[in-house]
Amino acid sequence: MLEDIFTINMLNDFYGKLLPQRQGEFLRLYREENLSLAEIAQEFGLSRQGVFDSVKKAERALYEYENKLGLLARFRKTEETLLRIDQAIAQLIEESRDDPALTEQLRSIQNTADALGE
């Protein structure tokens, strides 16, 4: 359940601007602002079921965008790769303590890799 919420929020970060404005607003209020469907419905003068349908339609659209474009999958793969690079460099730094020049070069590479993840 939490993974689904996290995934929807990440997908919304990547593709939310592609949603119709009202769907995007309902999804944001429901997922990010943690408003209930009833609260959103009351604020917009709609039925709870109408808001629910809109939120689910927006979520399906986000998954469809991901299936076609794969931005979140690439983002996650990049994060995993950068983590492995960081771990490998940290190990090399530990092993090269006797060579300050090499250690400094490795720290520079590590900083560059870290900047890619920001």
20-59 pLDDT, tens digit per residue, is: 999 999 999 999 999 999 999 999 999 999 999 999 999 9
H-assigned helices in the chain: 2-15, 21-27, 37-44, 48-69, 71-95, 100-116
Mean pLDDT score of the chain, rounded to an integer?
93
| pLDDT at position 2 over 70 | no
Evaluate whether 62 touches 54 at the Cβ level (below 8 Å).
no
pLDDT digit string, tens, across residues 75-113: 999 999 999 999 999 999 999 889 999 999 999 998 998
* Residue 46 Rama label (left phi>0; alpha psi -120 to 50; beta): beta
Q: Collapsing DSSP states into helix, strand and coil, what is residue 33?
A: coil
Q: Collapsing DSSP states into helix, strand and coil, what is residue 98?
A: coil
The verdict on pTM exceeding 0.95 is no
